[in-house]
Structure 1
């Protein structure tokens, strides 16, 4: 019986610690997360029970397992804001970029040849 109680208390403590650590700061009530962690480690049974009763914030749905942090942060921000006034299609934008890349490549080639001619003329 003592072994079962010890295992249950250990599981409750580990569950509370995982729950505290994975919660965002705005989901922790009354004390900072570090104090909750210390309380659960020093007084495992009482600290864990107090955490689950008053320390954490519950959703309207009641008790739920915490989701991974990536999902809790909300919808992902757009990678790049749309350019105001840019009415080109994606294909047109890609074609313009290709032309710009080619222009830079040609400029680099011209500079390289000028440099080579300057070195050849100096000899």
Structure 2
């Protein structure tokens, strides 16, 4: 009997962690807080229902095997990465350099004024 209670507790904890960490668009049929309440109220039945009908599973186009290199590939980042310095146009590079020179001049003026004011 204690093994069944321990198994129920483990399944409930796993279901709670899974339900809480899911995004709202990955939860089906009821809001997330209702699923959490249901899992806590009826641990075994709620956990089984969560894993069978409550969460959305990813759809794979082809099954992955253990040694499949796709398993270790990262998903592409949807946000565009900044262009490397060499990929920018010459005009963009010149504008960046002019901005850097202007900032360096302003920093030099600040240093000079601080030195004059402190003397």
TM-score (norm 2): 0.62
Instruction: Please tell me whether residue 56 in structure 1 is matched to residue 55 in structure 2.
Output: yes
1:94 and 1:42, CA in 2 relative to 1: closer, same or farther beyond 3 A? farther
Name the residue aligned to 1:88. 90
Paired with 1:108 and 1:56, the residues of 2 have a C-alpha distance of: 56
Gaps of 5+ in 2: 61-73
Gaps of 5+ in 1: 62-70, 117-123
Q: Which has the larger radius of gyration?
A: 1
Residue deviations 1:56-100, cap 9 Å, x none?
A: 112234xxxxxxxxx78x62412458xxxx6228xx727842x43
TM-score (norm 1): 0.61
Alpha-carbon RMSD across the aligned residues, in angstroms, is 3.6
